[in-house]
């Protein structure tokens, strides 16, 4: 009985390891844009209900794109600074947009209490 149980457990371990290896998907790395390259076009929904593309920012001398989110405490801590930056540079022809790469379904509520900026006492 012990030998068959041990054989079964070894079989499960091998099956588990094989499954882990098989689950690792390979993908091609995205191509990094060269400095000075034109940004690829996009069509993304805004928080105002409109859909935006690169051509919506043709009048800007410079387009700053920040990838952030609205649920992260660290991102929330920088929000006012980013708004001030956008307001300061708008008269100079600089547009600033933020893109949240996180789908709503990817929000992990257990992460909402974490921030690398603050050290709260226990």
Q: State the pTM of this model.
A: 0.60
> Mean pLDDT of all residues in the chain?
79
Q: What is the model's pLDDT at position 14?
A: 77
List domains and CATH numbers for the chain. Answer: 30-111 (3.40.30.10)
Contact 73, 115 (CB under 8 A): yes
Q: For residues 82 and 19, give the distance between their C-alpha atoms in angstroms, rounded to a whole number.
A: 44
3-state secondary structure of 92: helix
The model's pLDDT over 10-43, given as tens digits with 9 standing for 90+, comes to 776 776 666 665 555 666 777 888 988 888 899 9
Q: For residues 105 and 84, give the distance between their C-alpha atoms in angstroms, rounded to a whole number.
A: 30
């Amino acid at each position: 009985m012990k030998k068959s149980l041990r054989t079964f457990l070894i079989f499960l371990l091998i099956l588990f390891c094989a499954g882990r290896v098989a689950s690792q998907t390979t993908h091609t790395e995205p191509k990094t844009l060269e400095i000075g390259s034109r940004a690829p076009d996009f069509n993304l929904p805004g928080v105002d209900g409109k859909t935006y593309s690169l051509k919506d920012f043709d009048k800007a001398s410079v387009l700053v794109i920040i990838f952030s989110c609205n649920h992260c405490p660290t991102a929330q801590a920088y929000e006012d600074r980013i708004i001030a930056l956008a307001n300061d540079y708008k008269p100079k022809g600089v547009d600033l947009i933020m893109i949240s790469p996180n789908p709503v379904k990817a929000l992990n509520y257990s992460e909402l209490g974490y921030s690398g900026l603050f050290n709260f006492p226990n």
